[in-house]
Amino acid sequence: EIVMTQSPATLSVSPGERATLSCRASQSVSNYLAWYQQKPGQAPRLLISGASTRATGIAARFSGSGSGTEFTLTISSLQSEDFAVYYCQQYNNWPLIFGGGTTVEIK
Amino acid sequence: VQLLESGGGLVQPGGSLRLTCAASGFTFSTYAMNWVRQAPGKGLEWVSDISGSGHSTFYADSVKGRFTISRDNSKNTLYLQMHSLRAEDTAVYYCAKRSSFVSGPMDVWGQGTTVTVSS
């Protein structure tokens, strides 16, 4: 079973600053990697698929990169609505696995 | 495009429950569907997947043999039958649409239904 490891667990960032979130897979998932955002009391929302393709309606400040085992989600200039928990997920193999999440909090 | 879960509630350990997810706004039969759960204060855990036709199903080891995913494409509805429920099954259960017939990311999510397993 693939293990997805996200770091850091918590990221403290000031509004307007750049945030860089990491996700590492224990074995290659090619580019079958998605990123989701979840705010308190809400369902997750797809941000990025195929490691780097923004989902419909997602702001350009969100970008994804990487392939194989190392992936990054970058939020170029944090807005107040971006403070949330972010999950990566591989969909290359069964079982589908989510990372443990990174909480982006206001510094 | 909308997914609306129902059927959650309080159930005793060892009991059963059936969750339902009503889909609208898209051609239901052409997309794989999933159940994902989130225990209180925890992260997301994939539970089960079913292909668009319903012919292929997959389960997390934690629920294999106890949960059954199914769909009725004539009713645009997804189900999760849960048996032998345990305290560790307590969670918000989300249904989620995948972006293709058999795979892809989860591009649409419902708001979730809460299952509490407790005596």
Minimum distance, in Å, between the CA of residue A78 and any CA atom of chain B: 23
Would you place residue B100 in the very low, low, confident or very high pLDDT band (cuts 50, 70, 90)? confident
Q: Which of B1, B3, B38, B106 to mutate to test the interface with A (most CBs of A within 10 A)?
A: B106
Q: Does B101 touch chain A (CB under 8 A)?
A: no
The Cα of A94 is separated from the nearest Cα of chain B by a number of Å equal to 8
Q: What is the pLDDT of residues A57-86, one digit of tens each?
A: 999 999 999 999 999 999 999 999 999 999
Question: Cα–Cα distances in Å, from A3 out to A28, A69, A82, A89, A107?
Answer: 10, 10, 26, 10, 29
The sign of the torsion formed by the CA atoms of A24, A25, A30, A36 equals negative
Question: For all residues of chain B together, what is the average pLDDT?
Answer: 97
Q: What is the pLDDT of residue B68?
A: 98
CB count within 10 Å of CB B118 equals 10
Contact B44 A94 (CB under 8 A): no
pLDDT grade for B112, boundaries at 50, 70 and 90 = very high
Please tell me the distance from the alpha carbon of residue B105 to that of residue B8, in angstroms, as a whole number.
25
- Give residue A99's identity as a one-letter amino acid code: G
Inform me whether the C-beta atom of residue B103 falls under 8 Å from chain A C-beta atoms.
Answer: yes
* Residue bearing tokens 């949960």: B67
